Amino acid sequence: MTTPAVIPEISVPPSPYQVPQAFSLVIFGASGDLTRRKLFPALYALAHDNLLPERFAVIGFARREKSHEAFREEIRVAVDEFSRFRPVQPEVWERLARGIYYVSAAFEDPAGYAALGKQLAEVEARYGTCGNRMYYLATPPTSYTTVVGQLGAAGLVSAPWPELSGTDWPCWSRVIIEKPFGHDLATAVALNAEIHKTFHETQVYRIDHYLGKETVQNILTFRFGNSIFEPLWNRRYVDHVQLLVAEHIGVEGRGGYYDAAGALRDMVQNHMLQLLSLVAMEPPATFDAEAVRDEKVKVLRAIRPPAAARVGEVTVRGQYVRGALRGARVPAYADEPRVAEDTTTETFAAIRLEVDNWRWAGVPFYLRTGKALPKQVTEVTIQYRRPPLRLFEHAPHPGHRLGDEVEPNRLTLRIQPDEGISLRVGLKPPGPRISLVPAHLGFVYRDTFGVDPAEAYERLLLDCMLGDSTLFIRRDEVETAWGLVNPILQAWQEAGREGLAYYPAGSWGPTEADRFIQGDGRAWVNP
């Protein structure tokens, strides 16, 4: 077979940011929603911002048979619908589309990987990508070990370091794996062991899209880049911390998946513990990936897993029943399609954790997440201690009774939507009376910077292309997080329906959750 001619250079405007080396991206599960809604729109946005290398190709891999041209047309439709840059610019699309290819095969079929190897060889000769390969597993979790094992068996993965690859060029192979990373601690350990038979840990990028959101990254820059806040970020000044991930939707046709997962697996074990670790971590020596992830793991290891007998004291689990949301009737979770009639799966979870270290000893961290709640919002709220003297208790502001306590200062980091940061302070209102009223200082990302923040997948894909694993999850992070939630999962499973609280769709959760935090003399912060 004649080797294809190398594609000539094309004119791409220079980027002020670092641009990756030439490489090939293989997306397994190329016909799925994640590919259509997130991955290709993110790739188009990177192309739009001139952040892709001039020599770049994408190979979709999926079971359905289709031609390269048909696949490109499907992707064009998806980008038209889901890209944040609309309408699609023809010159940008053509630059991306010229390197899009497709391989049809089942994930377990060795012949498919032989065809993939042939397509990669052709692409690498045509585009001069130097053997650099990035594999994205946009597949069901049950296929992870199959795909990884077949890649290894077909010889499509290079050694992690050039001196071990037997080549004279620094070619690399990386794999991106979507959550969930296992179903519990045992399956997470087994999954990691299987992946490491083919990929070294330095080649594995476990993706949690929450970590790609601008405000999540701003947690670190806000804390460590502003000297007025870091000295107050400890047990002396902080009363407690609340993390809220609220969804206004139900399971929306995903009942089969969700009934086997639940809120604890779906949100707490990954997204919420990642947020907690960023809020609570110590300053890293550098912003090197390993230094940052070392500090995150230290936080997770400082949290004591609850003893089985105490799970009921530090957690509340709930399940939504029939209710109304935004004027529409919502069926009970148990009545959703593909959900077992006798289900005990939680759609709401509230948990109190404590980081048992010098900085945070005695400061509770309250984690709360649920489906069919009034708003779609993700927030971190840091509530500070009240002033030690009630100087203003004899001069209340209108609407407050004499003797009411001054409302505490709160710092709120809004992850989504309307990404931003706000600080609640007490100020004197106009007039002759000395009193305090709460006022909010802060910024909204869009208003301050004049643009919407980039989608999370744009940042995370680019970081993987550049070999920066800072915002990806390391093996010990995954296993430590599972070690924290495993006792809760086991206790809830053994309890069955006992202790499962119910709440109407459209409410902020079961009343048991309100009593849970009120028992500590605190209250939930509802946006």
Q: Does 233 share its domain with 298? A: yes
The catalytic residue positions are 271
In 3D space, the residue among 331, 336, 325, 345 whose CA is nearest the CA of residue 246 turns out to be: 325
Per-residue pLDDT of the chain (527 residues; tens, 9 = 90+): 444 444 444 445 555 578 888 999 999 999 999 999 999 999 999 999 999 998 999 999 999 999 999 999 999 999 999 999 888 999 999 999 999 999 999 999 999 999 999 999 999 999 988 889 999 999 999 999 999 999 999 999 987 765 444 444 568 999 999 988 999 999 999 999 999 999 999 999 999 988 888 778 788 888 888 888 888 999 999 999 999 999 998 887 788 889 989 999 999 999 999 999 999 999 998 888 899 999 999 999 999 899 888 999 999 999 999 998 888 899 999 999 999 989 999 999 999 999 999 999 999 999 999 999 999 999 999 999 987 766 665 555 555 544 455 678 899 998 888 888 888 877 767 777 766 777 778 777 777 777 777 888 999 999 999 999 999 999 999 999 999 999 999 999 999 999 999 999 999 999 999 999 999 999 999 98
Helices (H), 178-254: 185-195, 214-224
Distance CA 428, CA 396 (A): 10
Q: What is the pLDDT of residue 220?
A: 85
Q: Which domain holds residue 305?
A: 212-518
Q: Total domain count for the chain?
A: 2
Q: Residue 188 domain-assigned?
A: no
Instruction: Assess if residue 16 is contained within a domain.
Output: no
**Interacting residues of 331 by C-beta distance below 8 A, sequence separation 6+:** 250, 322
- Same domain for 429 and 347: yes
The pLDDT of residue 210 is: 84
Find the CATH number of the domain harbouring 146.
Answer: 3.40.50.720
Whether residues 240 and 137 fall in one domain: no
* C-alpha–C-alpha distance, residues 467 and 2, integer Å: 33
For the chain, give the number of residues.
527
499 and 457 fall within a common domain? yes
Which residue, 178, 204, 239, sits at the end of a domain? 178
60 falls within a domain: yes
341 falls within a domain = yes
Helix (H) or strand (E) holding 298: helix 289-302
What are all long-range contacts of 445-450, with beta carbons under 8 Å and residues at least 24 apart? Answer: 445/214, 445/215, 445/418, 445/419, 445/420, 446/418, 446/419, 448/420
Same domain, 262 and 391: yes
Query: Does residue 272 share a domain with residue 158?
Result: no
Picking from 178, 203, 225, the residue at the C-terminal end of a domain is 178
**CA–CA distance, 392 with 420 (Å, rounded to integer):** 31
Do 488 and 384 lie in one domain? The reply is yes
In a domain, 261, yes or no: yes
Q: Helix, strand, or coil here: 342?
A: coil
Q: Does the predicted model carry a pTM greater than 0.95?
A: no
**278 and 421 in a common domain:** yes
At 405 the pLDDT is 59
What tokens appear for 110 in the block? 């060795």
| Residue 445 confidence (pLDDT) | 73
pLDDT at 419: 81
